[in-house]
């Protein structure tokens, strides 16, 4: 049975992009991994073709969303050119591919032959559960209703205005048919594109709100390969579980001391200077100190007022200090705002690690998808031990390489840190970035693709005829 044309779409992870589809990186055509994978498939009679999908690779939820949009569009284009399409994503490339699957409603179609791709394999992917807050959900539903209502009303109103202008009814009371036609044309040219834009935005928003959940209606499953000690998955899980408290108990109250002193001093200066100044201008007597004092000697009266203000300054300072310290710093900030500030700043800190830069919440980091059921293959045995040993050895070399450069008195540590962040050894010292160096990973990915290809070929094969052939009569 012919397996047809097979496309393998590779999606790289964060910080691992390229300018060309050809090269030595795992996702490029001609790489060691792609050659191993194609040879393994060829041994099973499957002729595959590597189709790299390049995106920015930034640690940004917005960039991952854009990468998913372009991947979904690309899979729609490949759908007619190949018999089966298989997606392989590494790290956050798996999140990009998972979101593309959501956009394409993968596993929700009644006819399996109409699915835009056939399998999704992720390698070392820290899946995020992408959630939309309740206010955004309500606003999204209302926006969808408004957008569709506008889409229904707009053509009816446009048709009515055109009829009125042509028939001379002058529905807009513009005075002449020419003016009516001009106003109608302007209305259609402006409101028409805006209506289409609203529809597009509302569809994207409702897809966010109605994301499928694991164990729901999807009948497809993601094949997830990961190592027990994958640094990226473990790090993001620890970040999420960490009890971040940027403002510890009592910190806002203690921190209000400097502001309380500053406001106390400003109050003393303001009253000490403002009262004589206003009195000299004949405007007011703030402290009422000049009652009963003769007005014939303004200069001496102002001097007396300044002395009295100076004598009262300790009391003024103390009142302002304690009011600010206990009411603002203690009650308003420490009691009222500290919890909210901790949640907000802690969420921002977690968001930096997760690349959150939009209105959606990223949470529940897991090696398993939150939208589709997941088949796990946790690497073990010789392969897992080899990856661990290789990462430990490479990390030791990396430490030896930069130890003296980073800890030399008077040395240029900034240059050393810059080199460290871009050194290839940094990638080699991680389990997370060395999956595709292992032959076992290529075999696992290839076997899953081969199984899916055979299942798809069997599903496309015509059913055998139910008419039995009778033996010839002797």
The closest alpha carbon to 395, from 358, 439, 425, belongs to 425
**What DSSP assignment string belongs to 312-352?**
HHHHHHHHHHHIIIIIIIIIIIIIIIHHHHHHHHHHHHHHH
In a domain, 65, yes or no: yes
Per-residue pLDDT, averaged over 23-35, amounts to 96
Domain coverage including residue 345: 251-354
pLDDT at residue 465 greater than cutoff 60: no
The reported pLDDT for the residue numbered 469 is 40
pLDDT tens-digit profile of 121-175?
999 999 999 887 777 778 888 888 888 888 888 888 888 878 877 776 766 666 6
Q: Is 459 exposed, middle or buried (0-12, 13-18, 19+ CB in 10 A)?
A: exposed
Asked if 208 and 69 count as a contact pair (C-beta separation under 8 A), the reply is no
pTM here? 0.74
Per-residue pLDDT, averaged over 345-358, amounts to 81
Q: Do 76 and 225 fall into the same domain?
A: yes
Residue with tokens 């640690």: 59
Q: Do 34 and 167 fall into the same domain?
A: no
Q: Do 57 and 137 fall into the same domain?
A: no
Per-residue pLDDT, averaged over 82-90, amounts to 95
Q: Do 295 and 348 fall into the same domain?
A: yes
Q: Do 62 and 155 fall into the same domain?
A: no
Q: Do 116 and 191 fall into the same domain?
A: no
Per-residue pLDDT, averaged over 374-403, amounts to 83
Q: How far apart are the first and last CA of the chain?
A: 36
> For residues 351 and 343, what is the distance between their CA atoms, to the nearest angstrom?
12
The reported pLDDT for the residue numbered 467 is 41
The reported pLDDT for the residue numbered 474 is 29
pLDDT at residue 1 greater than cutoff 60: no
In a domain, 198, yes or no: yes
Residue with tokens 């201008």: 281
pLDDT tens-digit profile of 411-435?
555 665 565 555 554 556 688 989 9
In a domain, 12, yes or no: yes
The reported pLDDT for the residue numbered 220 is 86
**CA torsion, points 129, 135, 140, 141, in degrees to nearest 10?**
110
Number of domains in the chain: 4
- In the chain, pLDDT over 90 holds for what percent of residues? 34
Q: Do 425 and 282 fall into the same domain?
A: no
In a domain, 241, yes or no: no
The reported pLDDT for the residue numbered 276 is 60
Question: Which CATH number goes with the domain that contains 43?
Answer: 3.40.50
The reported pLDDT for the residue numbered 399 is 66
pLDDT at residue 15 greater than cutoff 60: yes
Per-residue pLDDT, averaged over 453-472, amounts to 57
The reported pLDDT for the residue numbered 411 is 56
Number of H helices, E strands in the chain: 13, 8
Q: Do 309 and 262 fall into the same domain?
A: yes
What mean pLDDT is reported for the chain? 81
The reported pLDDT for the residue numbered 143 is 85
pLDDT at residue 178 greater than cutoff 80: no
In a domain, 427, yes or no: yes
In a domain, 237, yes or no: no
The reported pLDDT for the residue numbered 360 is 77
pLDDT at residue 53 greater than cutoff 90: yes
Per-residue pLDDT, averaged over 182-186, amounts to 84
pLDDT band for 472, please (50, 70, 90 cuts): very low
In a domain, 197, yes or no: yes
Which of the two residues, 191 and 357, has the higher pLDDT score?
191
Which of the two residues, 408 and 111, has the higher pLDDT score?
111
Q: Do 116 and 258 fall into the same domain?
A: no
Using alpha carbons only, how large is the chain's radius of gyration in Å? 35
The reported pLDDT for the residue numbered 240 is 86
Q: Do 345 and 282 fall into the same domain?
A: yes
pLDDT at residue 277 greater than cutoff 80: no
Asked if 276 and 305 count as a contact pair (C-beta separation under 8 A), the reply is yes
Q: Do 200 and 263 fall into the same domain?
A: no
pLDDT-wise least confident of 206-215, 263-272, 379-388:
206-215
The reported pLDDT for the residue numbered 2 is 47
Strand duo 6-11 + 84-90: pairing: parallel
In a domain, 333, yes or no: yes
Which of the two residues, 131 and 40, has the higher pLDDT score?
40
Per-residue pLDDT, averaged over 467-474, amounts to 37
Q: Do 219 and 200 fall into the same domain?
A: no
């Amino acid at each position: 049975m012919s397996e047809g044309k097979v496309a393998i779409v590779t999606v790289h992870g964060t910080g691992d992009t390229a300018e060309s589809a050809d090269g030595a990186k795992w996702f490029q055509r001609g790489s060691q991994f792609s050659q191993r994978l194609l040879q393994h498939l060829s041994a099973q009679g499957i002729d595959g073709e590597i189709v790299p999908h390049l995106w920015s690779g930034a640690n940004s939820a917005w960039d991952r969303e854009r990468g998913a949009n372009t991947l979904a569009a690309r899979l729609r284009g490949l759908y007619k050119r190949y018999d089966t399409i298989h997606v392989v994503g590494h790290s956050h490339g798996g999140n990009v591919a998972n979101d593309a699957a959501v956009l394409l409603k993968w596993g929700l179609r009644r006819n399996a032959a109409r699915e835009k791709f056939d399998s999704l394999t992720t390698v070392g992917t820290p899946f995020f559960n992408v959630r939309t807050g309740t206010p955004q959900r309500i606003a999204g539903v209302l926006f969808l209703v408004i957008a569709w209502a506008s889409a229904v009303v707009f053509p009816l109103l446009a048709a009515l205005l055109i009829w009125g202008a042509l028939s001379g009814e002058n529905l807009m009371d513009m005075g002449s048919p020419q003016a009516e036609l001009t106003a109608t044309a302007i209305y259609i040219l402006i409101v028409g594109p805006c209506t289409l834009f609203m529809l597009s935005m509302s569809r994207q928003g409702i897809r966010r709100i109605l994301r499928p959940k694991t164990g729901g209606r999807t009948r497809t499953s993601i094949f997830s390969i990961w190592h027990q000690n994958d640094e990226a998955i473990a790090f993001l899980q620890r970040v999420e579980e960490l009890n971040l408290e940027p403002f510890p108990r009592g910190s806002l109250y203690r921190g209000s001391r400097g502001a309380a002193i500053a406001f106390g001093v400003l109050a003393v200066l303001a009253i000490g200077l403002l009262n004589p100044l206003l009195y000299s201008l004949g405007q007011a007597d703030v402290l009422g100190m000049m009652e009963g004092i003769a007005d014939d000697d303004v200069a001496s009266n102002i001097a007396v007022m300044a002395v009295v203000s100076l004598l009262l300054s300790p009391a003024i300072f103390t009142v302002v200090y304690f009011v600010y310290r206990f009411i603002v710093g203690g009650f308003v900030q420490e009691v009222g705002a500290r919890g909210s500030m901790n949640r907000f700043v802690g969420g921002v800190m977690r968001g930096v690690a997760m690349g959150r830069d939009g209105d959606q919440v990223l949470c529940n980091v897991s090696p398993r998808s939150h939208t589709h059921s997941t088949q796990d293959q946790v690497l073990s045995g010789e392969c897992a031990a080899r990856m661990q040993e290789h990462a430990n050895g490479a990390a030791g070399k990396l430490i030896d390489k930069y130890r003296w450069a980073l800890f030399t008195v008077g040395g240029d540590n900034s240059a050393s840190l810059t080199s460290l962040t871009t050194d290839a050894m940094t990638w080699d010292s991680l389990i997370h970035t060395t999956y595709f160096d292992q032959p076992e990973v290529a075999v696992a990915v290839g076997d899953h693709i081969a199984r899916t290809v055979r299942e798809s070929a069997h599903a496309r094969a015509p059913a055998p005829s139910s008419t039995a052939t009778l033996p010839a009569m002797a």
